[in-house]
Each structure stands twice: as structure tokens, then as C-alpha cells.
Copies of this chain bind each other. A is one copy, B any other.
Amino acid sequence: MTEKAKPLTDLAIANAAVMKPILEIAENAGIPEEAVEQYGRYKAKIDVNKLPVTQSFGKVVLVTATSPTPAGEGKSTVTVGLADALSRLGEKSMIALREPSLGPVMGMKGGAAGGGYAQVLPMEEINLHFNGDIHAITTANNALSALIDNHIHQGNTLGIDPRRITWKRALDMNDRALRHITIGLGGPTQGVPREDGFDITVASEIMAVFCLATSLPDLKERLSQMVIGYTYQKEAVTVRDLGVEGALTLLLKEAFKPNLVQTIEGTPALIHGGPFANIAHGCNSLMATNTARQLADIVVTEAGFGSDLGAEKFMDIKARKGGFAPDAVVVVTTIRALKMHGGVAKSDLGAENVQAVMDGIVNLEKHLETVRAFGVQPVVALNRFITDSSAELDYVLKWCKDKGVRAALTDVWGLGGEGGLDLAKQVLELIDEPNDFAPLYNVEQSVVEKITTIVQKVYGGKGIVLTDKARKDLIQIEQNGWDILPVCMAKTQYSFSDDPKKLGRPEDFTITIREIIPKLGAGFLVCLTGDIMTMPGLPKTPAALNMDIDEKGNAVGLM
């Protein structure tokens, strides 16, 4: 597969691949048959209570990337290819990934299951509904909304102020028309009128709770702590006050089991939970990561977008809660992406332009600094594309060498695990070295200190500005004693700053905090910056327009 005269689509490659029965994948991964609940022939849910008990846990390799551009970086592809390469080297490796949201699948992005010969399968089912987990979360979210509105309609004994309900409805959809709505119209039998809105499900607190809970009882406890709004006396109202945490847990209990699938090369992958990294915490479930650590010697996992978003949250939120440290961090980048950070337009990426690579490499530089700020060493995965010139590739590899950073060329899209062997070898060296991982801030610091730390050390900004709304939020958070929680930044993925147009390595900027939302179930404070939206919109020509089935009933148009 070194010749790519007529490149196949990801879907065509996925459909041509021969999958192993999922029971065989499970057996190879050390999962006993009684723990496997098959969903079709090639997907399964794992009952973790039926896994063998172990005291040794695998090492964790986190894959992140430079700031995303329309050129594409291939982070999921490298994650899959790296694990396949580790398998080829005889390592017992396993992948832990997020589930794709239907919003981007129908909107912009197509699928999210890797690409080329480094994919997880069955690609089509992973991208569409995937065992119903996200639908279960949507359902629990909206059941809570219906129960809140019904409580108010039926007499409102808790005294919930309809103007101060912070719990929003959710759909796994890009649907801007649902951002700001009014509900309960039509007269006294149709509910109590109030303002509301829908977030995309992957931004909902239940998704975050789902991904950070370590057991069903923990899930229930966290759900009970979620704040849904305030009374007329401005007292917080929680799910526990409504008495519905049991019903919500029941709705989630099957979804809460991690999903097992396989790569094209047969490496086992757990795909579970899918919060976005720009508006949520951006990592797959702790259940999946912990299960993979229990079963494999090396777990390759991914966090969303660049190191400023998913990786920061992986370190400061997920690893802190999970009590583990990443043993290595892979930073994926491409020549094309660096050229865009160097100011080249997407249409001009085909032409060699070493100067643009030199100009854009500051973005990579900052991401590497960010990784090191957590006391962990990075490896650069320079993910090859057919238009890359030797001069461009050589420049980046030499730049890394000069900086004392490990780097490897990868071609996992075209070659699968074979194209990630050099990266795998460097990762194996790195994970045997000691590391000084620590989250970037202590939770005891003030909220402003915590945010400022992230802005300065991760984004490279000067400091922060709070809007009046954010100041009011902060007072309320401090009065309730919620200021001891970590923070979860909601920021554009395209720039280190809160302005998506500032590519490369912006400097001298401040970050404006528009609103701070306490998420007590998830256990963090969401800080909204810039224009970031918790419900995306569809583009002018949505990917849905190209989707279809063929005469045999197979999927067409998934990318």
C-alpha cells in the first residue's frame, strides 16, 4: 500500500477489511466470555464486574496534537496506528477512545474512527448510534428536564424559580435553532412558560459524569449532586432534591459498560463516552481507561483537539480524579497543519513551502512546552501526507532534534501499524523513563488563580478578564463553597487564544471569561470563553446531504 494513485475512502477501506469475531478479540485481550455482551458480531459491551482482578495496571500513552486546522492532523488515526504498531512489536496494547457524536458526523466531519489503514471497526456502526450510549445520555438528560418542568407545573413544592433553571435539554445534533428557545407556551395545561435551550449531548453534564464515574454507585452519587437551578430564595436545587437520581442511573446502567471493538489489524479498542474537548472535558470514560489499564500493558488513549484543550483536561481533571499519570504524550502534527499555522491558505497547501513550515512550527513548540509543563515528556508524531516534501519533513525532524524532543515520521493512514513502528519504538523508550507528572494547579487555589495558571502556562496568554456575569457567578460559587473544584475551560480549539483566527503561537493576549457554570456532579467549574457555543450549527452543505445506503443496504458517504 505504498502506492496511492487512487486513494480509497475510509469507508471503502473499512468495508474491505475482514474483522475477527468480537469473542476472539475479547479472548486475545484476556476478557473472559462471561464478561462479553455481544452487540452484533463485531461489537460488545464489557461487564467489568466479571473481569479477572489484577493489581498491575498498564502504562498510559496520551495522544494529543497541534491546534487543529482544516488541513487535518490525524490524531485518531495516529492513536490507532500507534497501538497497532505496539501490537506488531509484541506489546500487549489496547486503545481507549471517545465515541463519535452524531453532530459532527451529520455536519462537517463525517466519522471519527481513525482513517485509512488505521481505523477502528465496524466504522459505520461506531459512527452511527454506537450501542446507544449517547442516546441513553440524551434520554437521561431530557428525562431530568421533563421531571423539572413537571415538578413546577404540578405545584412546585421545591419553589424552583423558572427564571433560574440552569439545567438545559440536550440532543446529539448540530442544531443552532435550539440554542435559545421558549417552552411551556400555550396556556395553563401546557406547562409553565420559561426560557430554555438545548446543548449538544456531548457538552452535557451527564456526559461528563458518565466519563468520570468509577462505578454505578459513584455514577448515581454524582448524578444526585448535579445542580439544576435555584429556588426563589436562590438556594441551589439538586437532582437529589427531586429524588430522581435512581431513575437517571437506571437509564444509564447498560450504556455505562465500556464497548469493545477492534482495529483493522485486530488490536482491541474500548470506545466509551464522548465529551467534546472545546466545550467539555474531552476524554473517554474513566471506566474504559481503567478497564484497558487492567487488561493491557500499554493503553493508547486520545484527548480531544490540541494539548491546550483535551490534554490539559486529561491531566488536570481526568488523571487527577483517576489517580494515574500519563507515561508519555504523543503530539501529532502534519506539514500541512504547520503550513497553515505559518499563514498558508488551505488551497495552497499542495506546494512546497519550507518557510511556512518554519513560521508555523511555533504552534508545535508551544504544545510541546505545555506537555512538559505537566512534568511529562512528549514525542512528536509527524504524520505524513502525500504532498509533503523531503525538505519540509527534514526541517521539522531536525528542529525536534535540536530542541531535544523525540520525533518520528508516521504513515499509518497508508500503512497501518507498519507506518507507526518508529513512533512505537520511541514511545517504548520513553515510558520506561521516570516522569514527574503533576497537575498544573492545586484545587485549593482560588478560581481566578486556577484559570490564570492555565491561561499563562498552557495557552501562553497574559491573563484573564472576567465579564460582570462571570464575576457574579464567581461570588455565588464562592458563597456555596464550590470554588475548590478544578476548572474545565470552554475555548475555541483553533487557537491558543479565545480568538479562532489567531493561529500559530499568539502572544500578549488575554482570555475573557464570559460565564462560570458549576457542574457539581462532574466535579468541575465550566468557564466559557470568547464566543464558544455549547450547541454547534450545521454548515451550509452538511455531510448529511452525501449520506445514503446503496442497493445492498450498505452505508454510503460516511467519511
Contact surface of A with B, Cβ cutoff 8 Å: 37-41, 45, 49, 102, 106, 125, 128-129, 131-132, 135-136, 138-139, 142-143, 145-147, 149-150, 153-155, 171-186, 189-192, 194, 216-217, 220, 243-244, 246-247, 249-251, 253-255, 537-538, 540, 542, 544-545, 547-549, 551, 553, 555-558
Contacts and interface: CB of A to CB of B under 8 A. Distances in A.
A175 B146 contact: yes
A531 to B, nearest CB: 9
Contact of A177 (B190, B255, B558): B190
Contacts of A549: 216, 220, 246, 249-250, 253
A9 to B, nearest CB: 15
Contacts of A149: 175-177
Given A147-B542, A548-B247, A185 B181 contact: yes
Number of chain copies forming the complex: 2
B143 A106 contact: yes
Contact of A102 (B128, B139, B184, B255): B139
Contact of A538 (B102, B150, B155): B150
Given A128-B250, A132-B135, A177 B183 contact: yes
Nearest to A49: B553
A1 to B, nearest CB: 28
B174 A146 contact: yes
Nearest to A22: B38
12 contacts: A37-B41, A38-B38, A38-B41, A39-B39, A146-B538, A176-B189, A176-B190, A177-B192, A179-B190, A180-B184, A181-B182, A246-B547
A139 B170 CA distance: 12
Contacts of A246: 547-549, 556-557
Contacts of A542: 147, 150
A128 B37 contact: no
Nearest to A557: B246
Given A145-B175, A175-B145, A549-B220, A150 B537 contact: yes
Contacts of A244: 544-545
A128 B556 contact: no
Contacts of A135: 129, 132, 135-136, 138-139
A501 B196 CA distance: 35
Contacts of A147: 538, 542, 544
A312 B143 CA distance: 32
A139 B173 contact: yes
A540 B156 CA distance: 11
A192 B250 CA distance: 37
B37 A40 contact: yes
A243 B216 CA distance: 43
A146 to B, nearest CB: 4
Contacts of A243: 545
A191 B179 contact: yes
Contacts of A41: 37-38
Contacts of A538: 146-147, 150
A181 B135 CA distance: 23
